Each structure stands twice: as structure tokens, then as C-alpha cells.
Amino acid sequence: MSASSPRLALVTGASAGFGRAIAAALCRDGWTVIGAARREDRLRDVRQELGASFHPLELDVTSPASVERAALQVEKEFPSGLDLLVNNAGLALGVKPAQQADVQDWESMIQTNVMGLSRMVHRFLPDMVARDRGHVVNIGSVAGNYAYPGGNVYGATKAFVKQLSLGLRADLHGTRVRVTNIEPGLVGGTEFSRVRLHGDQARAAAVYENVEALQPEDIAEAVVWAANQPARVNINIIEIMPVAQSLVGTRLHRTS
Ligand code: NDP
Ligand code: 8X3
């Protein structure tokens, strides 16, 4: 690849929310972007918006066969290899306390946020190491750092993402492959809460009522910034919250 070739990124979850904004920001910055997700019609819309530097790719990160199929397609169409893998596909399901939660929701979150992300790393990292070039950006969450009621397994999956990111840094010691974990707080303008609340649009809208939440573009900017650092720089972690969100610490339950 010549020095002037556009850099190549694969962004998972590019059909909506952060992924779509990340793909747009990277395309604007001159990258070629492979945007992956399950909903191909949505990816086609993104292609319409972003043009020829955006390449839709059908992918279900929970399916080993789908990941393998997608990886073979990427290798065939883009033999120069990935410069950037953004593991953004993910979801929260449910806000009930653990003692009332639906175990199927837990299973889906673990399959997507833990196994799906790990599977993508497992499939694409060896090639990055072989080329001694690349950057894995994982989308974690403040929910992996701070517990809140109803966060239970979702927060645990994001704590996994953080620890995996740090573990990858340890394993990649001595290579030029970089790893970053981006940990957003409350971000509006995505499908996240509607998915979490199983399609209840009114409750989802209430999450952002009278709060100036972050926007997907804020997260996209963090990804582009981390990816554009000089090769000697590894941004380990970026935690980013809206000004309107802050930390409260522990609480006490008093007997009456
Ligand atoms: P959205 O629901 O808007 O987007 C999620 C994206 O993930 C969609 O493009 C969806 O596409 C894709 N996706 C979901 N499951 C799969 C799968 N099995 N295989 C491939 N793609 C999948 O959510 P956000 O943009 O808000 O969230 C993106 C990431 O950011 C998630 O990891 C989330 O946990 C995290 N996050 C979100 C925050 C927020 O407040 N919004 C804050 C902190 C972190 P499709 O359905 O077409 O497959
Ligand atoms: C999403 C942020 O605070 O809703 O990861 O869990 S939060």
C-alpha cells in the first residue's frame, strides 16, 4: 500500500447510532470504511449518504459463521488489510434489578458485547500483528466503571470490554498494534434506549428528557482523534460524559 492510499477501517454496528456517526467521520477524514451490521437496508442508506468510500458488509457478530464469511470477504476485497477495527456493535437489554431480570436478555448481551467483540478481535488481530500495523478501538461504557441499579449484566459486559482492551495491550507489547477503549456516558440520538427498553419508544424518549446528552458525533470525534495520533502514541482509555452527568458514589439503606 502506498503512503497516499486511504487507510482502511472496519466499523461494526454501522447501521445506526455511534457506528453510523463513526463511519461518517472517518469517511470525511479520508478513510475507506467497511460498515458492518445485520440490517442491510440500513447499511444501504448509509452508503447513499456517505458515497463510494463506505462499503456495506452484512455481519452478525454473534454468529461465528457470519464473522468468518465477513472476514473472508474483507480479505478478498481489501487485501492490504485493516488499519482500524472499531468494535462498536453492542446493546443493553433491560433495566430491571438482577433478581427480576430476564436471563435471555443477559444471554444476548453476553453473546453480543462479550463473545461478539472477542470473536472480531480473535479473527482480525493475527493479521494486524503479522503486518505489525493496526488499531483496535473498542466501545466500552461508563457502565463498566460505575455500577447503577439495573445495570448489572450490561455493566459487567462493558467491564469485560475494558479489561480485554487492557489485556490486549499487554499481549501486543513489542508490536505496533494499538488498542483503545472508549467509555461513553449518556448519549442521545441513537437506538440504544429503544433497544434496551424492548421497543418502548415513550420510555426511551424519557431517558433523555430535559438532559443535554452527548451526541453520536462526540463519540465519533473521539474515535477519529485516537486513530489519528502519531504511531508512537497509544490512547489507552477515553471516558467521556455529558456535562449534565456526574458521579454520585455509594448509598446507604437505613432501617426505619
Ligand atoms: P444503537 O442501538 O443505535 O446501535 C447499535 C448498533 O449495533 C446497530 O448498528 C446494530 O445494527 C449493531 N448491532 C447490534 N447487534 C449486532 C450484532 N449481533 N451484529 C452486528 N451488529 C450488531 O446503539 P448505540 O450507537 O448507542 O451504541 C453503540 C455502542 O455504544 C454499543 O456497544 C453500546 O453498548 C455503546 N454505548 C452506548 C451508549 C449510549 O448512551 N447510547 C453509551 C455508552 C456505550 P443492526 O441491528 O443492524 O445489526
Ligand atoms: C450506556 C451508558 O449509562 O446508559 O452504556 O449505561 S449508560
Scanning the structure block, which residue is given the C-alpha cell 449484566?
153
Ligand nearest to the CA of 140: 1
pLDDT, residue 6, reads 84
Ligand nearest to the CA of 116: 1
Residue 89 Cα to ligand 1 midpoint, Å, equals 4
Per-residue pLDDT tens over the stretch 137-179: 999 999 999 999 999 999 999 999 999 999 999 999 999 999 9
Residues 181, 192 contacting (CB under 8 angstroms): no
Ligand nearest to the CA of 19: 1
What pLDDT band is residue 256 in, cutting at 50, 70 and 90? confident
Residues serving a catalytic function are 154
Per-residue pLDDT tens over the stretch 195-224: 999 999 999 999 999 999 999 999 999 999
Residues 209, 119 contacting (CB under 8 angstroms): no
**Substitution site in 154, 161, 207, 248 for ligand 2 pocket (most atoms within 8 Å of beta carbon):** 154
From the alpha carbon of 143, which atom of ligand 1 is closest?
43
Per-residue pLDDT tens over the stretch 54-84: 999 999 999 999 999 999 999 999 999 999 9
CATH of domain 8-240: 3.40.50.720
Residues 205, 165 contacting (CB under 8 angstroms): no
- Nearest Cα neighbor of 219 from 20, 12, 15, 8 is 20
Reply yes or no on whether the pLDDT at 111 is more than 60: yes
Residue 151 Cα to ligand 2 midpoint, Å, equals 8
Reply yes or no on whether the pLDDT at 46 is more than 60: yes
Per the prediction, the chain carries an average pLDDT of 97
pLDDT, residue 1, reads 38
- 204 touches ligand 1 (CB under 6 Å): no
Percent of the chain with pLDDT over 90: 96
What pLDDT band is residue 4 in, cutting at 50, 70 and 90? low
Model confidence, pTM: 0.98
What pLDDT band is residue 38 in, cutting at 50, 70 and 90? very high
Reply yes or no on whether the pLDDT at 132 is more than 70: yes
Residue 68 Cα to ligand 2 midpoint, Å, equals 30
Residue 235 Cα to ligand 2 midpoint, Å, equals 21
**Substitution site in 57, 88, 120, 237 for ligand 1 pocket (most atoms within 8 Å of beta carbon):** 88
Query: What is the mean pLDDT of the segment spanning 171-190?
Result: 98
State phi, psi for 87 to the nearest 5 degrees: -85, 85
The closest residue, in CA terms, to atom 6 on ligand 2 is: 143
